Amino acid sequence: MYKRSMQLLLVVFVAFTMLGATSPSARFQRLGHDLMCTCGCSEILLECNHVGCPNSTAEIADLRAQLNAGASDAAIFKFFVSKYGPTVLAEPVRGGFDDVAWIGPFAFLLLGIVLVLFLLRVWQKRHARLAPALPNLPPQTVDALRERIRKETNYGE
């Protein structure tokens, strides 16, 4: 059952990630948003709104030409990096050290989760070890204690 569920999950994941992978206009949009305009405006290529911007117009033309030539994503990125420099890529996708950029935040989060879970476990164990059995308090003290807890945790207080 568990194995079947995992297989189903994998199929859904693969199907989902493959969605939209084939449409040419989707590719143009996607790649156009993964490249930067190099005129210094710090805008995504397809979002540069400078009329007559010499860089974005030429870059868009290059992108269309590469797409029409049937180049792969990696080949297009390589072409742009060789022509405009590595900062033309809107995100680090060249592999190698660039991958560290992607791993960093998730490694931090993962490490944090592990650390928090470890802390929770340690605290829980310590609490179980240290928490004494409740002493025999007089009923009125227990009632007063309960009333106080209720007031401190109740709504409107």
Partner 1 sequence: MSHPMPLFGSATLLLALGLSIYAFLAGGFSLWAIAGGRALAVAPERIRETSRRAGIASFIAVSCSAFALVWAAYTNDFSVDYILHHTSRDLAWYYKFSALWSGQEGSLLLWAWLLTGYGFVLRLRHKTDVTLHAYASTILAGIQIFFFLLVVFVAQPFAIVPGGVAPVDGFGLNPLLQYAEMVIHPPMLYLGYVGFSVPFAFALGALMMRYPGEKWIAITRRWTMVTWLFLTCGILLGMHWAYAVLGWGGYWGWDPVENASLMPWLTGTAFLHSVMMQEKRGMMKTWNVWLIFVTFMLTILGTLLTRSGLVSSVHAFAQSSIGNWFIAFLVLTAAVCIFTFLYNRDHLRAENHLESLVSRESSFLFNNLVLLAACFTVLWGTLFPVLSEYVQGSKVTMGAPFYNRVAVPIGIFLLFLTGVGPLLAWRSTSLRAIRRNFVLPSISIILTTVVLLIAGVRPWSSASQADGAVTSNLYALVCIALSVGVITAIITEFLRGANVVRTQTGKNLLESTILLTRRNTRRYGGYLVHFGIVLMFIGLAGAAFNQSKEAEMSFGDSINLDGYKIVCQSYSQDSNPNYDSEFALLDVFHNGKKIVRLAPERRVYFVNTDHAQPATIVAIHSTLENDLYVVFEGTNPDNDKPIIKFFINPLVNWIWMGLVVVVFGTFIALVPKLKTSSQRLEVAFPVPSGLPLGGNLQRTPSPLNSPEGPHV
Binding stretches for partner 1 (CB under 8 A): 16, 19-20, 23, 25-27, 29-30, 33-34, 36, 41-44, 47-52, 85-92, 94, 96-98, 100-102, 104-106, 108-109, 112-113, 116, 119-120, 123-124, 126-127, 130-132, 134-135, 137, 141, 144-145, 147-149, 151-157
Residue 3 or 72 with smaller CB distance to partner 1: 72
* Cβ contacts of 137 within 8 Å, gap of 6 or more: 145
User: What is d(CA 50, CA 97) in angstroms, rounded to the nearest whole number?
Assistant: 33
Shortest distance in whole angstroms from residue 2 CB to partner 1: 23
Paired tokens of 132: 């004494």
What's the sign of the alpha-carbon dihedral 85, 32, 26, 99? positive
Shortest distance in whole angstroms from residue 122 CB to partner 1: 8
Shortest distance in whole angstroms from residue 8 CB to partner 1: 17
DSSP letter string over 116-129? HHHHHHHHHHHHHH
Shortest distance in whole angstroms from residue 49 CB to partner 1: 6
Q: What are phi and psi of 126, to 5 degrees?
A: -65, -40
